[in-house]
A and B are shown apart, each in its own frame.
Chain A
Amino acid sequence: MICRSEDLPVAVGIPVRDEADRLPRLLDALCEQSAGAGAFTVCFLLDGCSDDSEALLRAAAPGLPFDVKLSSLPRAEPNAGRARHGAMEMCLEVIGPQRGIVLTTDGDSLPEPDWIETTRRALHDVDVVAGHIERNIRLTGCWRTRLEDYLNALHSMRREVDPIAWDAAPSHPSLGGAKLGFRADVYRALGGFPAYVHGEDTALISKARREGYRVRHDPAVRVLTSNRTAGRAPGGLADELRVQLHSDLPPLVADPAVCLRHYRLQAALRRAHEAGPAAVVAAARRFGYCEMHLTDVAREVRTSDAFVEIIAPADCVGRSDVLRLPAAEEALRELQTPQPETAVA
């Protein structure tokens, strides 16, 4: 029997660490999910909470229009990956062996009313959906806002240079764990979020691509997230935000010219893999890779995207090729300015 994604059971995993003051608004946002969301279960993983988060959720649960599951971890050193992994394990238990959809967000986030519905729709065509995070208050005059605008512009250039069929415009660069959706079987096959102190979200998305799953960065899937500067785990987005809110010094970012060269390399490798073995050998010669290595990897992967993610991942962009944000913005503008055609004699 073929199940449409509208019919599949949905479970939402949310790690919570001392977020009693934010949870009422999150519950309101979940109550307002559109009819297209269908029935769903929300699994809260209380990560060593020492405030009223658990009492609040237990009191609210009977009156909510969705099922609530609660579980808790003892207080320990904060670890965003372990907490999210735990919340998602609860989701998999809810879904069971059948097909389903698992989503995750954060305690300080407010999913838009069509969040589950748009995720369901996106998962018709792809295996993983990364929604778009929008700030509940757009901060002006701070580096964070300029950085996000810059990264959006850089991503647009990237997808123009290196288009992916299932991630066509409009797309976005954000990968935060506050708005990810997976087909449950895919999530299970990936082994779940790694127990990283932070960065578990980007790591899992990168792994999904390396293993040949289709990842869509869908701006229609939207979640509002706070500008909190005290997060669940050290070194995460909240810490980054705090530095960027209080620093006079602009953040360092990769030189966009170096990024552009890398995107072109990725595009060429993608086209080579799509074209077949002879093109892979030609690409190895052209870019100085070992033919046998590239041919081996090309044979082993399921998609051209996986080939690119293994051979030339974003991690390859040089750590020393960095610019301060204003210089990078200027450099990006120059790269985007159409160059006059050179006359050929």
Chain B
Amino acid sequence: MSSPQNLKDLYLEELQDLWSANDQMVKVVREMADAVGDEKLSSRLRGSVGGIEKHAGILQDLISDAGGEMKKEHCKGMEGLVKEARKHAVEMEADTDVKDVAAIAQFQRMSHYGIAGFGTAAAFAEALGLDDAASKLNKATSEIYSSDEYMTELAERSQNLEAKGK
């Protein structure tokens, strides 16, 4: 794609970037769900994949409405985060409690990248007068933002880890 010339182009590029980010995140979260050492955390990560898939569906519709297409071209920002997540929460040989905390931390990083992307796209949509798109993107942002269960779990597990002297 040529360089963006206006806000409409920026909006489409943001959506495509987000779609790629979601696409990459889904795959690594599935890997993390298989790698963690706790059944409940594994199940929670697997459940989160459903939410990410739904957000990818929303992005697909918005990209299509904006006259673009989804591209497998990687979002470089998420590519880096995914690489880190795979290194620390999938491939790392570590005590399972440590690995579980690492997995939550990596999930948080990727989610917050998603919040920034969806929030930005929502702001662009609002400025462009795309009310329906803005509403969908804001809803997705809230869904990611409000699921703070991972943060609670991160805090609890970190404290347990410290208590165990690990």
Chain A residues within CB distance 8 Å of chain B: 194-200, 202-203, 207, 284, 287-293, 310-313, 315-317, 319
Instruction: Give min CB distance, A201 to chain B, whole Å.
Output: 9
Whether A197 touches B57, Cβ cut-off 8 Å, given contacts A315-B46, A316-B47, is no
Looking at B9-17, B31-39, B124-132, the stretch in contact with chain A turns out to be B31-39
Q: Can you list 15 pairs linking A and B with CB atoms under 8 Å apart?
A: A196-B38, A197-B38, A200-B39, A207-B34, A288-B54, A288-B58, A289-B53, A292-B70, A293-B26, A310-B30, A311-B50, A315-B44, A315-B47, A316-B46, A319-B149
Closest 5 CB pairs of A and B: A199-B39, A290-B56, A315-B47, A316-B50, A288-B57
Residues of chain A within 8 A (CB-CB) of B58 are 288
Verify A293–B54 contact, CB threshold 8 A: no
Verify A290–B53 contact, CB threshold 8 A: yes
Name the residue among A196, A198, A290, A292 with the largest chain B CB count within 10 angstroms. Answer: A290
* Cross-interface CB contact of A195 among B23, B26, B70, B96, cutoff 8 Å: B96
Verify B43–A315 contact, CB threshold 8 A: yes
* Cross-interface CB contact of A199 among B40, B53, B96, cutoff 8 Å: B40
CB-nearest residue of chain A to B51: A316
CB-nearest residue of chain B to A284: B57
- B60 contacts partner chain A, Cβ-Cβ < 8 Å: yes
CB-nearest residue of chain A to B70: A292
Verify B34–A311 contact, CB threshold 8 A: no
Verify A289–B39 contact, CB threshold 8 A: no
Residues of chain B within 8 A (CB-CB) of A290 are 19, 22-23, 53, 56-57, 59-60, 70
Q: How far is the CA of A291 from the CA of B50 in the complex (A)?
A: 14
Residues of chain A within 8 A (CB-CB) of B138 are none
Residues of chain A within 8 A (CB-CB) of B70 are 290, 292
* Cross-interface CB contact of A289 among B23, B40, B44, B56, cutoff 8 Å: B56
Verify A195–B37 contact, CB threshold 8 A: yes
- B141 contacts partner chain A, Cβ-Cβ < 8 Å: no
Q: How far is the CA of A200 from the CA of B23 in the complex (A)?
A: 29
Verify B37–A293 contact, CB threshold 8 A: no
Instruction: Give min CB distance, A293 to chain B, whole Å.
Output: 6
Residues of chain B within 8 A (CB-CB) of A200 are 39
Whether A313 touches B53, Cβ cut-off 8 Å, given contacts A197-B38, A292-B70, is no
Instruction: Give min CB distance, A309 to chain B, whole Å.
Output: 9
Verify A289–B43 contact, CB threshold 8 A: no
Verify B42–A203 contact, CB threshold 8 A: yes
CB-nearest residue of chain B to A296: B23
Q: How far is the CA of A315 from the CA of B47 in the complex (A)?
A: 5
Q: How far is the CA of A41 from the CA of B103 in the complex (A)?
A: 40
Verify A196–B39 contact, CB threshold 8 A: yes
Verify A289–B57 contact, CB threshold 8 A: yes
Instruction: Give min CB distance, B93 to chain A, whole Å.
Output: 13
CB-nearest residue of chain B to A316: B50
Residues of chain B within 8 A (CB-CB) of A313 are 46-47, 50
Q: How far is the CA of A286 from the CA of B38 in the complex (A)?
A: 34
Residues of chain A within 8 A (CB-CB) of B96 are 195
CB-nearest residue of chain B to A201: B39
Scan residues 122-159 of chain B and give those whose CB is less than 8 A from a CB of chain A: 149
Instruction: Give min CB distance, A255 to chain B, whole Å.
Output: 16
Verify A196–B37 contact, CB threshold 8 A: yes
CB-nearest residue of chain B to A288: B57
Name the residue among B19, B47, B53, B70 with the largest chain A CB count within 10 angstroms. Answer: B53
Q: How far is the CA of A313 from the CA of B46 in the complex (A)?
A: 8
Residues of chain A within 8 A (CB-CB) of B59 are 290
CB-nearest residue of chain A to B43: A315
CB-nearest residue of chain A to B59: A290
Residues of chain B within 8 A (CB-CB) of A195 are 37, 96
Instruction: Give min CB distance, B29 to chain A, whole Å.
Output: 12
Q: How far is the CA of A203 from the CA of B53 in the complex (A)?
A: 21
Residues of chain A within 8 A (CB-CB) of B38 are 196-197
